[in-house]
């Protein structure tokens, strides 16, 4: 009798397991309990919300559902809907947490605040079939699997930075970018608005900033290798956001629970501002130009550099601080959040060292090192911001020369600056190049256009924002940064953002104990399919082979690997094109002498899936350090 009962229970468990399909949610919730069955969306489905603050998320959910399904669902106030978005008190959830309970009869989404409902709504959309991402009506089995979810974020700051200075993106493109990151529970959009290559925000009291500073001469080709402007050449490439544009984007972001942090990059990276107002620099050169992507600096192997053109504001000139006060007055009025990012990175001080005014200021202040002038500058700027009710945040170079305890630090040169800042009692946002720079190429340099360095999605996923020995209370969270030197279009910006922004969303939102690369990679692949339906571009470099070369006993040895576990790797060294009948990689390959070419491709289930990678012997030897 007992054996029969056990057999029945086992069969029931197997049948239940067969009915439960993976949910593929990104980022991974705190707690998920699946059960059998599902909720079906039909034209009889009703949707309600219990408080006025819940209406925005409810309307967004209905809009997404109706667009893809063709249903004509409408929201109603109250607690009678089959799908309900309710604001209820739950101390466990905090400001951004939520719960979801799906049964065959109801879908209940609850949160303490509107932000939590918004994130719960995004999870409900991920529970629906991938076709929900369609911009037009499509036929699908519109069901939501039965599940209980409890979810809340690990970190308060979950950000993405977009640089619109080096390449300008329109207001509509920026709104779409914000919408897409909000789907993955990012709550901060760092808007890099000014740099050497363009000033992108209207300042009404300083009209030349956009009349001159927003435009550069037309140039094609690789950024950093372009020609400087020629005498008399007109600047026709660029653009800027009016203050009405800014207000519109801020409102759009607020509706998606995204805070916009503007960046006005000073004192360095100010060439566009100086082109508009040359008197802001030490040399006051009237021929200063907005950089079209020319190489304006000599970089040395130890990270130091020398600028050929002046791009830093003059810290000894009181008119510079009058300029900054005008700029920050208008910026502060446009952005309601508490922070204004002031840059502070890569400030070349050679022109300061040669300037009599700067030398006189150093003597007056009793400072011996020109580097300390940046600390003076930042402290002056911080007082300007404080007078407008704002907090200063900047890249980790702002630690050089001393800053006030109230300043917040973004650690980009690895995590070292963040560790130092936290030990000094500063709040920190971790955004190191080694894990979070989305402009770095994602695969092999022979496939993706090479830039400063590479960063694979698995490396981003491995990031831990709280370093050992650091009090976690000082780590606000983290951020991915997308610089736009090599981003000619918004679609390519998406390609560089995803899937690494999906990986970082899980780093910043999900519990540390939930991290599992093999599990994430499967969910990532499911989101490839969703992105295809949504027409969002992304990189498939995770399918490509990883090729490592080294010298061993004076022989060139190559090792092949992949980020995704279940791929087969095939290669050739005989000038044939590899396929599944070629040599299959099983162990390191000792390259024979001679002018060989290595060709590598990945397969899954007998079908090619990765890019063909072709490397000549000279490149392999270079990678081996020979």
Task: Give me the helix-helix angle, 490-497 and 171-182, nearest 10°.
Answer: 20
Tell me which DSSP letter residue 79 carries.
S
Structure tokens given for 348? 């070349």
The rounded distance, in Å, linking the Cα atoms of 606 and 336 is: 55
Helices (H) and strands (E) in the chain, counts: 18, 29
Structure tokens given for 536? 């969002």
Q: Which of 441, 413, 439, 447 is nearest to 428 (CA)?
A: 413
Structure tokens given for 311? 């791009």
Q: Which residues contact 391 (CB under 8 A, 6 or more apart)?
A: 338, 339, 340, 385, 406, 407, 408
Please state, in angstroms and as integers, the Cα–Cα distance from residue 263 to each residue in 276, 499, 526, following that order: 18, 25, 35
Catalytic residue among 96, 133, 151, 195: 195
Measured over the CA atoms of residue 357, residue 361, residue 367 and residue 372, the dihedral's sign is negative
CA 3: distance to chain centroid? 56
Whether residue 448 lies in the annotated active site: no
Catalytic residue among 346, 371, 420, 525: 346
Q: What is the 3-state secondary structure (H, E, C) of 89-134?
A: CCCCCCCCCEEEEECCCCEEEEECCHHHHHHHHHHHHHHCCHHHHC
**Is residue 233 a contact partner of residue 274, using CB atoms and an 8 Å limit?**
no
Catalytic residue among 192, 269, 426, 611: 269
Whether residue 468 lies in the annotated active site: no
Q: Is 180 helix (H, G, I), strand (E, B) or coil?
A: helix
Q: Is 408 helix (H, G, I), strand (E, B) or coil?
A: strand
**Is residue 282 a contact partner of residue 355, using CB atoms and an 8 Å limit?**
yes
Whether residue 400 lies in the annotated active site: no
Q: Which of 22, 131, 18, 19 is nearest to 522 (CA)?
A: 22
DSSP letter for each residue of 18-47: HH------SSPPSEEEEEEEEEEP-TT--E
Q: Which residue has the tokens 């576990």?
A: 565
Q: Which of 24, 19, 17, 185 is nearest to 104 (CA)?
A: 19
Q: Which residues contact 121 (CB under 8 A, 6 or more apart)?
A: 57, 58, 60, 61, 85, 109
Active site residues: 195, 269, 346
């Amino acid at each position: 009798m007992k054996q029969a009962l056990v057999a029945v229970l086992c069969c029931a468990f197997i049948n239940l397991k067969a009915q439960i399909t993976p949910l593929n949610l990104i980022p991974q919730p705190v707690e998920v309990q699946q059960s059998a069955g599902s909720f079906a969306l039909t034209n009889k489905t009703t949707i309600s919300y219990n408080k006025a603050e819940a209406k925005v998320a409810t309307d967004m959910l209905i809009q997404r559902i109706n667009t893809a399904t063709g249903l004509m669902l409408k929201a109603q106030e109250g607690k009678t809907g089959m799908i309900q978005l309710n604001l209820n008190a739950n101390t466990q959830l905090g400001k951004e947490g939520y719960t979801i309970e799906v049964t065959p009869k109801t879908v209940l989404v609850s949160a303490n605040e509107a932000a939590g409902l918004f994130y719960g709504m995004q999870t409900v959309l991920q529970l629906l079939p991938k076709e929900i991402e369609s911009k037009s009506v499509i036929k699908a089995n519109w069901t939501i699997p039965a599940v209980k979810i409890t979810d809340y974020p690990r970190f308060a700051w979950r950000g993405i930075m977009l640089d619109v200075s080096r390449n300008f993106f329109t207001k509509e493109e920026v709104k779409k970018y914000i919408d897409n990151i909000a789907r993955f529970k990012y709550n901060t959009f760092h808007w890099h608005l000014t740099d050497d290559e363009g000033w992108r925000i209207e300042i009404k009291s300083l009209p030349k900033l956009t009349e001159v500073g927003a435009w550069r001469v037309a140039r094609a080709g690789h950024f950093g290798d372009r020609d400087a402007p020629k005498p008399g050449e007109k600047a026709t490439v660029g653009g800027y956001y009016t203050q009405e544009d800014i207000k519109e984007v801020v409102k759009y972001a607020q509706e998606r629970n995204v805070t916009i942090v503007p960046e006005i990059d000073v004192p360095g990276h100010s060439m566009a501002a100086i082109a508009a107002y040359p008197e802001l620099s030490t040399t006051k050169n009237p021929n200063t130009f907005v950089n079209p992507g020319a190489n304006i600096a000599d970089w040395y192997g130890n990270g130091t550099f020398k600028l050929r053109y002046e791009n830093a504001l003059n810290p000894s000139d009181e008119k510079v601080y009058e300029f900054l006060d005008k700029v920050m007055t208008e910026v502060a009025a446009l952005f309601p959040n508490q922070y204004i990012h002031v840059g502070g990175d890569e400030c070349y001080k050679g022109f300061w060292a040669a300037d009599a005014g700067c030398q006189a200021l150093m003597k007056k202040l009793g400072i011996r090192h020109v580097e300390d002038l940046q600390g003076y500058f930042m402290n002056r700027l911080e007082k300007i911001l404080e007078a407008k009710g704002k907090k200063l945040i900047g890249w980790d170079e702002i630690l050089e020369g001393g800053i006030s305890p109230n300043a917040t630090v973004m650690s980009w040169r690895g995590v070292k600056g963040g560790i130092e800042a936290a030990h000094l009692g500063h709040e920190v946002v971790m955004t190191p190049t080694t894990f979070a720079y989305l402009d770095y190429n994602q695969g092999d340099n022979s496939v993706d256009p090479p830039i400063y360095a590479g960063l694979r999605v698995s490396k981003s996923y491995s990031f831990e924002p709280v370093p050992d020995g650091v009090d976690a209370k000082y780590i606000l969270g983290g951020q991915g940064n997308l610089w736009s030197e090599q981003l000619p279009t918004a679609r390519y910006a998406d390609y560089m953002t995803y899937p690494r922004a999906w990986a970082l969303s899980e780093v910043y939102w999900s519990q540390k104990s939930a991290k599992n690369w093999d599990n994430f990679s499967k969910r990532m692949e499911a989101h490839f399919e969703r992105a295809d339906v949504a027409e969002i571009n992304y990189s498939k470099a995770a399918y490509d082979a990883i090729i490592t070369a080294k010298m061993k006993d004076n022989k060139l040895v190559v090792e092949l690997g992949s980020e995704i576990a279940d791929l087969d790797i095939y290669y050739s060294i005989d000038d044939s094109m590899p396929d599944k009948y070629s040599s299959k990689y099983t162990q390191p390959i000792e390259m024979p002498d001679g002018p060989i070419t290595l060709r590598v491709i990945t397969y899954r289930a007998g079908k090619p899936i990765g890019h063909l990678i072709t490397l000549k012997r000279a490149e392999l030897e270079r990678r081996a350090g020979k």
